[in-house]
Structure 1
Amino acid sequence: MLVKSILGEFLHEAESTRKLLNAIPDSALNWKPSDTSWTTGQLASHIAEIYNWYPDTVHGSEFDMGTYKYDKGDITKASNIVAKFEENVKKAQASLESATDESMFENWKMVAGGQTLLPEMPRIQVMRGFLMNHIYHHRGEMIVYLRSTGNKVPGMYGPVFEDSLR
């Protein structure tokens, strides 16, 4: 029942992420709000990449960021980022569909270079914080990026402010 519930939220929220990524025009990809911020393309690529972390998180006991190969791919076109998202979301969904409720209570941790980045904790806690909430956080940033560049934000939980201006 737990995995079924997580999968339901995952599928619903993946659709919201899809709407957001599809709203990014190529003309906004190089924009960033400050010198220390990611560009829109980098942020969008990161959002798409988080879905690639699901298989190792759902079925492994340790995620080694030191050996993880992050491939941002070609971020010069928004369609490339959306394609990366689609590929990664399929893998993420498959990993959740093959998980068990019992496995959600097994311990998991994140390491890099012999250092513990996230301490051992139940996988369900990692699913919520490291994966799902992490995506939601970055989607919020992307909404600010889109509005800052004069682009329309899609409604993900109902109408958005821009819809009231019509």
Structure 2
Amino acid sequence: MSNKIILQAPFSDQTIRSLKAGDMVYISGTVYTARDAAHKRLYEMLECGEPMPFDFAGQAVYYAGPAPAKPGKPIGSVGPTTGGRMDAYSPTLIAEGLKVMIGKGTRSAEVIEAMKQHTGVYFAAIGGAAALMAKCVESAEVIAFEELGTEAIRKLQVKELPVVVAIDCRGNDIYQSGRDAYKM
């Protein structure tokens, strides 16, 4: 069995280039949650030249809307949502420095091209395991758009959040049918 790959967020281009589609990794450090409504707001803010609620450089966004926390817990269940729901906004955010996206499901050709151009990576989180994912969250803090409730942007501190490299920075995609044995 190979060594356990633990990555520290935020991410460098060198780290992202070392990943290959299909790699199982664990993320520790800061991860931000943002779903559809938050992505739309971020996109609109960028178009208006407004400052972002966090610096995108090297950061990871987890497409999740956490359930309310139970007493004594930092967060409730926090499972991934479908990445394609953010495809209209993702190329712009990637161009602004966003390096890592975590979700489930396929991504558009435009998102994959932006990842290749700007050295980004898309991780698949384990769908149906929201309670397990919540156990990896050490702290959670709403940092923007509190009025969106579960879709507010949260800053999470995670320890060994399990993910799979779904699409690497070369465009190799585990969702692609036929999987032409991941190009190098």
Which bracket does the TM-score occupy, shorter chain normalised? under 0.3
**Rg larger in 1 or in 2?**
1
The TM-score, its normalising length taken from structure 1, stands at 0.23
The TM-score, its normalising length taken from structure 2, stands at 0.22
Indicate the structure with greater helix content: 1
